[in-house]
Amino acid sequence: MRSNRKKREYIENFLFTIPAVILVCIVMYIPFVMSGYYSLTEWNGIAKEPLFIGLKNFREIFTGKVEFLSSLWFTVRYTLLFVIMSNVIALALAVALTKKFPLVNVYRSLFFIPYIMSMTIVGFIWKFIFTSGFKSLFSLTGWGFWNFSWLGDPKLAFISVTLVGVWQSLGFYIVLYIAGLQAVPQEVLEAATVDGASGVQSFFRVTLPLLGPSMTTCIFMSLTNGLKVFDIILALTKGGPGTSTYSATLQIYNDAFTKNMYGLGSAEAMLYFFAVLVITQVVLRVMSRKEVDL
């Protein structure tokens, strides 16, 4: 009787799993394999049969005939600044928001609201702020700071895109850090105080090491979000001025769907996939080793 029940449960679990497996294969694995094939071809998306050209697309990428390598450099700079700013600011705000003061829950909600908004909408909102909003502030105050070409100068455009990305995602990391701070045992903090540790020493030598799991999660999430940045750049600058804010994902999209070079776009996507895979796994392993267990 038990063997029949276990067999029936196994069959039921298998049957319920099949639709999910099929859906994942259709959405993820089959397109991935097809991209691997198209990366070895020259295809405009219209011709019936793609032309097999071997590794020519990859040679063009590494010889600098296309702008993919420069977009990679932008993505690296953006990701580094995004990860550092997001985690440092989020941790500082999380520490402040764990204190007891009036309307603390309201402030937590206000910081989280931008995260639930669409990145495209956030991009258009800030595009209006950078163009019309700052111009109005300049006319009111006369401060030259507001009259900078925030989206027209390559250096300022990079800073603007990064600041908007940090502003939009900050609430998510604040919530994770607040959860980590609230999980730190009060007895450990009290013991540190009894031993004569100041507030700053207690934070850096006791609280911060115990935030290892939260920091690992936040750094990993911010790293992946930085590496896949696309929609906020598309809404803010469309990669301009020139190609100074072209991210790797935007470059892949532009080559594949705007210029109809599906083979080159697939080759760029494959290279970028493996680069992101290696980077994220290395960072995750390094951060996991530094976690402290109670």
Note the pLDDT tens digit of each residue in 56-77. 999 988 887 778 888 999 999 9
Tens-digit pLDDT profile for residues 200-229: 888 888 888 888 889 999 999 999 999 999
What are phi and psi for residue 160, nearest 5 degrees? Answer: -65, -45
Q: What is the pTM of this model?
A: 0.89
Tens-digit pLDDT profile for residues 74-106: 999 999 999 999 999 999 999 999 888 888 888
Tens-digit pLDDT profile for residues 18-39: 999 999 999 889 999 999 999 9
Q: How many CB atoms lie within 10 A of CB 171?
A: 21
Average pLDDT over residues 263-275: 93
Residue 51 near residue 42 (C-beta atoms within 8 A): yes
Task: Measure the CA angle with vertex 113, ends 186 and 141; round to 5°.
Answer: 110
* Cβ neighbours for 232, distance < 8 A, ≥ 6 positions apart: 119, 120, 122, 123, 161, 164, 165, 168
Average pLDDT over residues 285-291: 80
Question: What is the residue extent of each domain of the chain?
Answer: 67-289
Q: Which CATH architecture has domain 67-289?
A: Orthogonal Bundle (1.10)
Q: Which two tokens stand for residue 215?
A: 């920091």
Cis check: omega of the bond before 241, within 30 degrees of 0 = yes
Q: How many CB atoms lie within 10 A of CB 212?
A: 17
Residue 293 pLDDT level (bands cut at 50, 70, 90): low
What are phi and psi for residue 135, nearest 5 degrees? Answer: -65, -40
Whether the predicted pLDDT of 132 surpasses 70: yes
